[in-house]
Structure 1
Amino acid sequence: MFEMIKDWREQRILDKSDLTNDDWQRAAKRIVILDRLDNEEMARLFDLATLFLNDKSITGAQGFEITDAVKQSIALQACLPILNLNLDWYAGWSSIIIYPGSYKSDAKTVDEFGIVHEGQQHRSGEAWQRGPVILSWKDAKHSGERDGHNVVIHEFVHKLDMLNGRANGFPPLQHDMDPKRWTTIMSRDFEDFQKHRKSGLDRYGTTNPAEFFAVLSEVFFETPQKLVDAYPDIYDIMVKFFKQSPI
Structure 2
Amino acid sequence: MLSKLTQWLGARRRQRALRDYPIDDALWQATLAGLPFFAHLDAPDLARLRELTSLFIAQKEFSTAHDLELTDAMTVAIAAQACLPVLNLSLDLYRGWVGVIVYPGEFVIRKTVEDEDGVVHEVEHDASGEAWEGGPVVLSWEDAQMTDGTDAYNVVIHEFAHKIDMLNGEADGHPPLIRRWHAPLDSRAWADVFDQAYDQFCARVDAVAQRRWARFERESLIDPYAADHPSEFFAVCSEALFVKPHAFEAQYPELYRLLARYYRQDPARVGLTFTPA
Q: Distance in 1 between matches of 2:261 and 2:168?
A: 18
1:116 CA displacement: 3.1
Could you tell me whether the CA contact under 8 Å between 2:21 and 2:55 is conserved in 1? no
Q: Secondary structure at the match of 1:106?
A: strand
Could you tell me whether the CA contact under 8 Å between 2:149 and 2:244 is conserved in 1? no
1:113 CA displacement: 4.2
1:230 CA displacement: 2.9
Which of 134-143 and 160-169 deviates more?
Answer: 134-143
Q: Secondary structure at the match of 2:260?
A: helix
Aligned residue identity for 2:20: K
Residue 188 of structure 2 is aligned to residue 180 of structure 1? yes
- Consecutive unaligned residues of structure 1, counting only runs of 5 or more, are none
Q: Secondary structure at the match of 2:238?
A: helix
Q: Distance in 2 between matches of 1:208 and 1:181?
A: 20
Could you tell me whether the CA contact under 8 Å between 1:45 and 1:80 is conserved in 2? yes
1:115 CA displacement: 3.4
Matches within 5 A, 1:7-18: 7-18=11-22
Q: Secondary structure at the match of 2:250?
A: helix
Q: Distance in 2 between matches of 1:162 and 1:78?
A: 15
1:20 CA displacement: 2.4
Counterpart of 1:217? 238
Could you tell me whether the CA contact under 8 Å between 1:199 and 1:226 is conserved in 2? no
Q: Distance in 2 between matches of 1:88 and 1:180?
A: 24
Matches within 5 A, 1:28-39: 28-39=32-43
Following TM superposition, where does structure 1 have runs of at least 4 consecutive aligned residues deviating by more than 6 angstroms?
none
Structure 1 residues 233 and 174: CA distance shift in structure 2, 3 A: farther
> CA offsets, 1:125-153, max 9 Å, x none?
00000100000111011136352000000
Counterpart of 2:271? none
Counterpart of 2:201? 193
Counterpart of 2:98? 94
Q: Distance in 2 between matches of 1:38 and 1:18?
A: 21
1:229 CA displacement: 2.8
CA RMSD of aligned residues (A): 1.5
Structure 1 residues 106 and 24: CA distance shift in structure 2, 3 A: same
Q: Secondary structure at the match of 1:169?
A: coil
Counterpart of 1:232? 253
TM-score (norm 1): 0.95
Q: Secondary structure at the match of 1:239?
A: helix
Residue 262 of structure 2 is aligned to residue 241 of structure 1? yes
Counterpart of 2:215? none
> CA offsets, 1:153-187, max 9 Å, x none?
00000000000001001111131012101012111
Which of 205-214 and 137-146 deviates more?
Answer: 137-146
Counterpart of 2:273? none
Structure 1 residues 241 and 146: CA distance shift in structure 2, 3 A: farther
1:82 CA displacement: 0.4
From the CA coordinates, give the structure whose radius of gyration is larger.
2
Identical aligned residues as a percent: 40
Could you tell me whether the CA contact under 8 Å between 2:34 and 2:147 is conserved in 1? no
TM-score (norm 2): 0.85
Residue 83 of structure 2 is aligned to residue 79 of structure 1? yes
Which of 221-230 and 39-48 deviates more?
Answer: 221-230
Counterpart of 1:165? 169
Which of 229-238 and 152-161 deviates more?
Answer: 229-238
Which of 110-119 and 179-188 deviates more?
Answer: 110-119
1:237 CA displacement: 1.3
Structure 1 residues 115 and 229: CA distance shift in structure 2, 3 A: farther
1:234 CA displacement: 1.4
Structure 1 residues 16 and 120: CA distance shift in structure 2, 3 A: same
> CA offsets, 1:28-50, max 9 Å, x none?
11111112211100000000000
Could you tell me whether the CA contact under 8 Å between 2:171 and 2:231 is conserved in 1? yes
Q: Distance in 2 between matches of 1:42 and 1:56?
A: 21
Could you tell me whether the CA contact under 8 Å between 1:29 and 1:35 is conserved in 2? no
Counterpart of 2:31? 27
Could you tell me whether the CA contact under 8 Å between 1:219 and 1:227 is conserved in 2? yes
Aligned residue identity for 1:244: Q
